[in-house]
Structure 1
Amino acid sequence: MAQAFQKTTCPYCGVGCGVNMVLPSADNDPVPPVSGDEMHPANFGRLCVKGSSLAQTLIDHDRLLTPSIHGHSASWDEALDTISDKIAQVVKDHGPDAFAFYLSGQILTEDYYVANKLAKGFIGTANVDTNSRLCMASAVVAYKRAFGSDTVPCCYEDLECCDLLIMVGSNAAWTHPVLYQRIAAAKQKRPHMKVVVIDPRQTATCDIADLHLAIKPGSDAAIFSYLLCHSDRANVLDHSYMADSTSGFDDALKCAYEATPSLSSTADFCGVPEEHLTLLANWWADIDKTVTFYSQGINQSSSGVDKCNAIINCHLATGRIGKAGAGPFSITGQPNAMGGREVGGLANQLAAHMDFATPGARDLVQRFWQAPNMASENGLKAVDLFQAMEAGKIKVVWIMSTNPMVSMPDTAQVRRALEKCELVIVSDCKNNTDTTTMADILLPATGWSEKNGTVTNSERRISRQRGLLPAPGEARHDWWAICEVAKKLGFQSAFDYQGAHDIFVEHAALSAFENDGTRDFDIGHFHSMTQAEYDTLVPVQWPVPKGQPEGTKRMFTDGQFFTSDRKAHFIPITPVLPQQASNQEWPYVLNTGRVRDQWHTMTRTGDAASLARHTNQPYVEIHPRDVKALGLQDQGLARLVSPSGQAILKVKTSRATSPGQVFAPIHWTQAFANASVVSNLIPQVVDPLSGQPESKHAVIRLEAIAKKVLFGSILSRQTLDLSDFLYWCRIPSEHGFYYEVALSSAADVEKTVRNLTLQTGLSEHWLEYQNPLSGQSRMAWLEEDQLALLLYWHSKPNNLSMDWLVTKLAPDSRVLEQERLAILAGSLAQAEDKGEIICSCFQVGSKQIQKAVAEGVGSVAELGSQLKCGSNCGSCIPELKQFIPSDVEKSA
């Protein structure tokens, strides 16, 4: 009989997909592949390739299993005593602000709640910030300026029923694939639906776009200031709605006219053709049901808050809010960025969507918590927090489930800060990250499938993330570790929770405490729920006030807001470009973002070999004109240098970027590649209102690496120290370790071989092949007919498929006599070379697709029928279309 599914929630992006999981039948059995929950209203059974691969990430490799202090194993009691003693000492000697939490949208709402309560209510500091500061802080401030509350007004259904969807600063096809596929399906069913993409790059999201505005980086606000003016000129303003429900329109409109006085001036400011801007303006005027969907391209800016408010202004002026298919919709990047906002996980918040600026809020929260040491003012936002740490003001920092040594701008500064800090505590489920190497105390945390609590997705939907597997080793929940420290600090009664359920009901009760409808966040319906009800909680959208268990789909339907006058406020906006502009010394503009099959800093996705095959190395995307002008080589190496630092990345020639602009993904870390941390290049420039860094923008120069570079591929049964290499990247594989590398010159080969044989303990006898004409050299070490080490050297970047060779590292694999030459040749006659993997769900490669097209396949649907590619999550469909001649012509 089939085992019953256990329901939980995906830990990746802000879509918040439901996941079905079957538990292994025996303790040591692997977890079977997961599937999508057809009943979950975020995804209705669909999962992207990252979600589908979750079971592959549930491995013991590199799990942090025991606490450690200064690199030595310790008991939990020793670690917690050390932490609590140090916190007590620095608070006594330097005041509560000498302590800080740095949290993550990866932890659960219950974890966030107790961390916020301990710091702000009991230690007495508001130095509680989170990597969500890097994600959506600008959207939060903009919503609060306009609505009086951090309220996302829309729901996912609005994306499917709108007639005009403007996607700005979002490559949802890769970053929120399931939601993107819902949009694509809706557009196919409703051909009149228009989709506009506003993005400096031509991304996969442009696949369904009727119009792509390839704007000058950072010029987004001018587009919406112009639309506000055009709404006035085209007489589509909703004067009745504005009179009843808004204030401040005249000042906002006057400012918009001053900033964007004409079509030509706006088009010039944004770097787009006038006819494209005219088409967008006409659609805006003609189509009432409009959603503007925005993400990091808007938020990660030195003027991110103003950009968000420019968008909101347009919707308020035309009454396109609070109704089906209309609204300004900020999409979050992390699974629980929204939950962190709900409980005060940002330094400028209290709890339950209250903040220090709200009259009476501090007193209300203090009375509810019965808190003895309530913080009285905003704490330090992320960048300020690490700067204060370097200045010696933060003496103890507790980092949870995040990797600031990779994600924060100006990595060199973050390193100096952590080195200066007297005690760095890191809670993580991974042993080796760029940040755990900086820790004084490491605490083993539970991971996805072990954590137990709630998360809130981008449409305000609360879902359960269930602990289905036992925690390995001595791993403990984050909320438990925080509460144990709180107890040792003398706050036993306030943190004596028996489980996540107790924390959630307290959180719910606080949301309803003295809430007479003037606060948006209210889940009071759950204030007395039982453990059984918590265990079976179904996804629900807040607010969920007492007596309304079904929740609330769409906000502001009555035209009432949470400001003091109950009206939404227009904000005058003057569009500005990024603070740093390219010049002769720094001639290129760097844009950053994500790739399709990886997530944040790869601490989870990096364990799934199948996810590495689509994009297996970090890269910089450069226009062909610039590649030629700089003497670069496609798939060769380039050095990126900014005023903050540098990186070495593979060159990817692409017309998706404009000349003078380059793009690099953010995921790779020192754990995966030696010179790939893109945040090295990002300056600590922030929005003055939100504190969100301008992580999407840096000015750089590009340098060609010396032409004598020798490229290589290495397969090994064990990890290798490649610190002497010019470049190395470890690519996840099912067997052993696979590296792509580069040496400064061929003269280094002899020394490198000697070092590698010493590391591995292998003999100095090997199989060897050399081709002096091509510059190839291949060397293989065998031990008892098993492949132990393989070195390939190439004078040019390698395009050889390594799939078959990697299988020879498997413990049960033997190299047959007739395969020895095949190993040196790099292939076996019967081993298929799939080419570059396009469809990760079914591991379908470019050569397989090209063969099918050559044999007569003429559509993506036919490719799906024959090869299965594109038939699961759909993330690869934009790329599949590029193989179909008719589709290539359409997109040209």
Structure 2
Amino acid sequence: MREIRTTCAYCGVGCGIRAEVTGREVAIKGDAEHPANAGKLCSKGTHLGETVSLEGRLLYPEAGGKRVSWDKAIDRVAKRFTDTIARHGPDSVAFYVSGQLLTEDYYVANKLMKGFIGSGNIDTNSRLCMSSAVAGHIRAFGEDVVPATYADFDEADLIVLVGSNTAWCHPIVYQRIMAARASRGTKIVVIDPRRTETCEDADLHLPLRPGSDVALMNGLLAHCRDKGLLDAGYLEDCVNTPDGFWDALGEGSDLWSTAAACDLPPADLLAFYELFAANPRTITLFSQGINQSVRGTDQVNAILNLHLATGRIGKPGAAPFSITGQPNAMGGREVGGLASTLAAHMDFAPENVETVRRFWAAPRMASKPGLKAVDLFRQVREGRVKAIWIMATNPAVSLPDAGLVREALATCPFVVVSDCIADTDTARFAHVKLPAAGWGEKDGTVTNSERLISRQRALFPLAGEAKPDWWIMTQVAQAMGWTEHFAYDCPADIYREHARLSTYQNGGKRLFDIGYHAAISNPAYDAMEPFRWGGVPFADGRFSTPDGKARLVPVEQMVLEKPLAKFPMTLNTGRYRDQWHTMTRTGLSPKLSQHRREPLVEIHPADADERGIAADDLVQVSTPAGDSVFRALLSEGQRRGEVFTPIHWTDRQSTGGRTGLLPRSLVDPVSGQPGFKSTPARLEKLAPEWRGFLIARDVPDAIPAAYATKIRVAAGWLVEVAGDGDPSVLAKAVLPKGERIETVDQARGGLRVAVLQDGQLVAALFITRSGRTPSREWLIAQLSAAGMASAIELLAGRPATPQADRGPIVCVCFDVGMKTIIEAVATQGLVSVEAVGQALSAGTNCGSCRPAIQRLIGETKEAAHA
């Protein structure tokens, strides 16, 4: 057994992990010495060990659907790219990369495209989540710098969470916020159209109208000016204020106008203003709800304006804080992985282009920004980009208007996909597939949301013929004729060059400078401890602009789109607590799949009632871009007229739940970031003739049902199904061979079939037209049960002796259900989350379920007094 210190595969919190490796198995625990998490892990990190098998892995290169050698694959990619560039120019090719890459991978990709192919056409899926923050930082600070650290939460008196379901999406950060509240009474305000789990512990929740964030922040800034809360000295010494900035701010920024624009009670808005005024140590933490908007950059700058004008920046506990979604989105930003940046925090100013050209000895340096993600795939579809290399991402699912992306890939003359997974929605369009290292095989560095650089270390040998992404790219670069420029032997070689470029002719112009690692040795690189670059940004009042001053950026609230007659609802999209992106990794974990077993559309009960929709009905969500089917979840946390769907489900898991088909491909004019949070939509209840579920050890890829969605369970799969016509067609397609036990309920139109092999249950199908289906839990357990249940029990779907129903899983870390918590609260008189933790362990690990437990305690108390 070996213990290896590495970094989590998921969000931008960047948690340290200690992994105990035995063969191809690994036991995961938090690294108590890592400054990002101090030993804590969320549910996804805790269960990483369930996702490192070789199931579904791409293990050898393929070309034209056939296995080929690495030499042939590299030669084909190099030749096609070289020929395409020769015939159509460097802008006819493109890379689309990912925050799943390590910094060293990113660096090689950026260097190859911008310095040697000679095009800016490399963009990253970070364009979809944080590019508005990048653009806002550059406009205000002159450089993409996050001027805060997690330690600032410990010293803040007020934390404002804007467009961030922190409790679910960044649980370790949320627990640090809760610890600050417990130790120093920190106040918490949540600004979000939805009442999410993050709101459960908030002092104030502002469910504003989607897209009205600029009005809210401008209104608060106007209030600060009127109440004398601006830092006049800081504004004079450290900030450039454009002429007319304050006059323009006054138009429509009074309390009543702002409340009307945001659809908020004036009293709640005033309460927020007063909290902000009373607590100079304020952190404003913002995420996708701010960035994923067609005016995301303006929304970012409205927040930055507020902090700059009140001097709440560069001080302990006072800063705007953009928190990233992916594990190495920041590393990609540092090397220039976005099409709109050049390299090492430099833009495409002529002097920067010349600086990088000299450093790389680049033969054909890109001189202008390339195509941003949405425009890139439009150009692929229009035939202007004729060869694309996609690395470690799944744009056929994740980009807006994903149907257009699929059309683009289907018509592109040459598509290369580097991935660790063999069968993704995107890989199905690849002419060449290249097997890349998975998380547990990677070696390099990542940067988290607070600018902390950590080592990613390999836990296992490379699987099959898989190779690191940086190696794959260097081989292609060398095959294209640039041998000496890409002669890297190990990640440390690349890291040293990256460090040298960060300091090359920098002279303090940019805060990003890790030149102290320009000559780091291989052993020192291997042993590198986490470190943060940039010190305390802007503590000296100096910014990365020509005059050293920050800039207030005038921003106006855009006119919000009115509901359309054909699409009267507004669709919001986002993440579930225990899943990640398109589930190629988390979907392998049975435990992570239990919290939300289907893609749900969350609807306010009044909106559902108007449309005849009940809980658990199937609902078609339609937008101008497309439509998909979801299971209805009625939620008082939704604003009226708005619905929410998760981003994770793909064609690999479901015939429905395809959220990527729904958002329009409208983007922010500055950042190019798509607006995922405010799409016109309509709902329609579906009424299939029958519904039911399948539990099986193995299920086929294609399931002949109008609706079918599958998730992993212990020892097999759970598939929820619904459809029309004869369900026996489904039974023939999905049930394996074996001893069949079945019954037909003519009255309810029901069909129940159990299949046994060697006396052990291997599959069970339950279909009904008008009746109820049994609970899934007991049947799932029978797939791995030591003994054999009776035929009567199997067809009934329950044991002869009733067992306790634990209800839907609330705490994934300790496998605790809702009904178990409710019973414990009621019978043991538990009155706090801590008491529930002591009794059941629920909520004592990652803490992401603590808001749900708190809510259940309150609901149980109310029920007892009703």
TM-score, normalisation: structure 2 = 0.97
**Secondary structure class of the residue paired with 2:321:** strand
Instruction: Specify which of 280, 299, 304 is matched with residue 288 of structure 1.
Output: 280
Match of 2:82 in 1: 88
Match of 2:511 in 1: 520
Match of 2:119 in 1: 125
Q: Structure 2 matches for 1:795-814, cutoff 5 A?
A: 795=769, 800-810=774-784
Instruction: Specify which of 671, 675, 690 is matched with residue 710 of structure 1.
Output: 690
Give yes or no for the alignment of 1:8 onto 2:6: yes
Give yes or no for the alignment of 1:162 onto 2:156: yes
Quote the Cα distance in structure 2 between the aligned partners of 1:861 and 1:591: 33
Q: 1:776 to 1:161 in 2, by over 3 A?
A: farther
Please report how far the alpha carbon of residue 731 of structure 1 lies from its aligned counterpart in structure 2 after TM superposition.
1.0
Deviations 1:642-698 (A, max 9, x none): 110001000001101011110111111111111211010100000000000001121
For the 8 Å contact 2:704–2:733, the answer to whether it is kept is: no
Q: 1:226 to 1:89 in 2, by over 3 A?
A: same
Quote the Cα distance in structure 1 between the aligned partners of 2:773 and 2:518: 59
Match of 1:733 in 2: 713
Q: Structure 2 matches for 1:430-445, cutoff 5 A?
A: 430-445=421-436
Match of 1:549 in 2: none
Deviations 1:99-154 (A, max 9, x none): 10000001000000000000000111110000000010000011100111111111
Q: Structure 2 matches for 1:457-496, cutoff 5 A?
A: 457-496=448-487
Instruction: Specify which of 837, 844, 853 is matched with residue 864 of structure 1.
Output: 837
Instruction: Specify which of 20, 23, 26 is matched with residue 21 of structure 2.
Output: 23
Please report how far the alpha carbon of residue 778 of structure 1 lies from its aligned counterpart in structure 2 after TM superposition.
1.2
Give yes or no for the alignment of 1:197 onto 2:193: no
Letter in 2 for 1:236: L
For the 8 Å contact 2:766–2:773, the answer to whether it is kept is: no
Letter in 2 for 1:808: Q
Quote the Cα distance in structure 1 between the aligned partners of 2:771 and 2:48: 32
Match of 1:825 in 2: 796
Give yes or no for the alignment of 1:425 onto 2:416: yes
Letter in 2 for 1:489: M
Instruction: Specify which of 816, 839, 842 is matched with residue 814 of structure 2.
Output: 842
For the 8 Å contact 2:748–2:771, the answer to whether it is kept is: no
Q: 1:160 to 1:577 in 2, by over 3 A?
A: farther
**Secondary structure class of the residue paired with 1:881:** helix
Q: 1:563 to 1:410 in 2, by over 3 A?
A: same
Letter in 2 for 1:724: P
Instruction: Specify which of 32, 36, 39 is matched with residue 42 of structure 1.
Output: 36
For the 8 Å contact 1:434–1:671, the answer to whether it is kept is: yes
Letter in 2 for 1:674: T
Quote the Cα distance in structure 1 between the aligned partners of 2:607 and 2:164: 25
For structure 2, the 5+ residue unaligned runs are none
Deviations 1:192-236 (A, max 9, x none): x21110000000111221110000011111111011111110001
Q: Structure 2 matches for 1:321-470, cutoff 5 A?
A: 321-357=313-349, 359-470=350-461
Instruction: Specify which of 875, 883, 886 is matched with residue 848 of structure 2.
Output: 875
Match of 2:565 in 1: 584
Give yes or no for the alignment of 1:654 onto 2:635: yes
Match of 2:56 in 1: 62
Letter in 2 for 1:558: D
Q: 1:4 to 1:718 in 2, by over 3 A?
A: closer
**Secondary structure class of the residue paired with 1:5:** strand
Letter in 1 for 2:542: Q
Letter in 2 for 1:879: A
**Secondary structure class of the residue paired with 1:675:** coil
Percent identical among aligned pairs is 46
Q: 1:490 to 1:588 in 2, by over 3 A?
A: same
Quote the Cα distance in structure 1 between the aligned partners of 2:248 and 2:745: 69
Quote the Cα distance in structure 2 between the aligned partners of 1:588 and 1:709: 27
**Secondary structure class of the residue paired with 1:670:** coil
**Secondary structure class of the residue paired with 2:269:** helix
Deviations 1:478-519 (A, max 9, x none): 000000000000000010000000000000000011111011
TM-score, normalisation: structure 1 = 0.94
Quote the Cα distance in structure 2 between the aligned partners of 1:882 and 1:709: 36
Quote the Cα distance in structure 2 between the aligned partners of 1:648 and 1:435: 21
For structure 1, the 5+ residue unaligned runs are 544-551
Bigger shift: residues 196-205 or 850-859: 850-859
Please report how far the alpha carbon of residue 337 of structure 1 lies from its aligned counterpart in structure 2 after TM superposition.
0.4
Instruction: Specify which of 741, 765, 768 is matched with residue 791 of structure 1.
Output: 765
Match of 1:546 in 2: none
Q: 1:619 to 1:523 in 2, by over 3 A?
A: same
Match of 2:549 in 1: 567
Deviations 1:425-467 (A, max 9, x none): 1111111111111111111111111100000000000000111
Letter in 2 for 1:728: A
Please report how far the alpha carbon of residue 263 of structure 1 lies from its aligned counterpart in structure 2 after TM superposition.
1.2
Instruction: Specify which of 646, 656, 664 is matched with residue 665 of structure 1.
Output: 646
Quote the Cα distance in structure 2 between the aligned partners of 1:70 and 1:513: 43
Give yes or no for the alignment of 1:749 onto 2:727: yes
Q: 1:111 to 1:524 in 2, by over 3 A?
A: same
Quote the Cα distance in structure 2 between the aligned partners of 1:463 and 1:94: 41
Quote the Cα distance in structure 1 between the aligned partners of 2:726 and 2:773: 22
Quote the Cα distance in structure 1 between the aligned partners of 2:310 and 2:47: 43
Bigger shift: residues 148-157 or 779-788: 779-788
Match of 1:779 in 2: 753
Bigger shift: residues 784-793 or 269-278: 784-793
Please report how far the alpha carbon of residue 790 of structure 1 lies from its aligned counterpart in structure 2 after TM superposition.
1.2
For the 8 Å contact 1:455–1:464, the answer to whether it is kept is: yes
Quote the Cα distance in structure 2 between the aligned partners of 1:159 and 1:536: 29
Q: Structure 2 matches for 1:265-284, cutoff 5 A?
A: 265-284=257-276
Match of 1:547 in 2: none
Q: Structure 2 matches for 1:758-777, cutoff 5 A?
A: 760=736, 762=737, 766-772=740-746, 775-777=749-751
For the 8 Å contact 1:787–1:815, the answer to whether it is kept is: no
Letter in 1 for 2:721: V
For the 8 Å contact 1:714–1:792, the answer to whether it is kept is: yes
Quote the Cα distance in structure 2 between the aligned partners of 1:223 and 1:157: 27
Quote the Cα distance in structure 2 between the aligned partners of 1:841 and 1:495: 44
For the 8 Å contact 1:389–1:417, the answer to whether it is kept is: yes
Q: 1:49 to 1:353 in 2, by over 3 A?
A: same
Quote the Cα distance in structure 2 between the aligned partners of 1:295 and 1:850: 33
For the 8 Å contact 2:121–2:339, the answer to whether it is kept is: yes
**Secondary structure class of the residue paired with 1:748:** coil
**Secondary structure class of the residue paired with 2:743:** strand
Give yes or no for the alignment of 1:183 onto 2:165: no
For the 8 Å contact 1:711–1:797, the answer to whether it is kept is: no
**Secondary structure class of the residue paired with 2:383:** coil
Letter in 2 for 1:804: W
Deviations 1:301-333 (A, max 9, x none): 011000000111111111110100111111110
Give yes or no for the alignment of 1:76 onto 2:76: no
Please report how far the alpha carbon of residue 799 of structure 1 lies from its aligned counterpart in structure 2 after TM superposition.
6.7
**Secondary structure class of the residue paired with 1:360:** helix
Deviations 1:534-591 (A, max 9, x none): 0011111113xxxxxxxx2x2000000011111001111101155x542211010001
Quote the Cα distance in structure 2 between the aligned partners of 1:406 and 1:217: 24
For the 8 Å contact 1:259–1:574, the answer to whether it is kept is: no
